[in-house]
Amino acid sequence: MREQTIADSFEFSGIGLHTGEHATVRIFPAPAGKGIVFRRIDLDNFELRADVASVARVAYATTLMNRGVWISTVEHLLSALYGVGIDNAYIELDNFEVPILDGSALPYVEAIARVGIVKQSLARQHIRIIKEFILNEGEKTLGIYPADTFSIRYDIDFAHPLIGKQSLDVEFTGTNYADLIAPARTFGFYYEVEKLQASGLVRGGSLENAIVLTQTGMLNDTSLRFPDEFVRHKTLDLLGDFALIGQPVLGRLVANKAGHALHTRFAGELLESKSHWTVGSRTEVPVSSAR
Q: Which residues form the catalytic set?
A: 260
- Residue 200 φ/ψ region, left for φ over 0, alpha for ψ in the -120 to 50 degree band, beta for the rest: left
Q: In the beta sheet, which residues pair with residue 47?
A: 39
**Through-space distance between the first and last CA atoms of the chain, rounded to whole angstroms:** 19
Q: Judge whether 63 and 72 are in contact, CB under 8 Å.
A: yes
- Strands 22-29 and 10-15, by their bridges, are antiparallel
Closest listed residue to residue 209, CA positions, set 64, 99, 114, 111: 99
- Residue 85 φ/ψ region, left for φ over 0, alpha for ψ in the -120 to 50 degree band, beta for the rest: left
The Cα–Cα gap between 29 and 87 comes to 10
Q: Judge whether 33 and 148 are in contact, CB under 8 Å.
A: no
Q: Residue 277 class from Cβ within 10 Å (0-12 exposed, 13-18 middle, 19+ buried)? A: buried
Q: Judge whether 290 and 118 are in contact, CB under 8 Å.
A: no
Name the amino acid, one letter, at 207. Answer: L
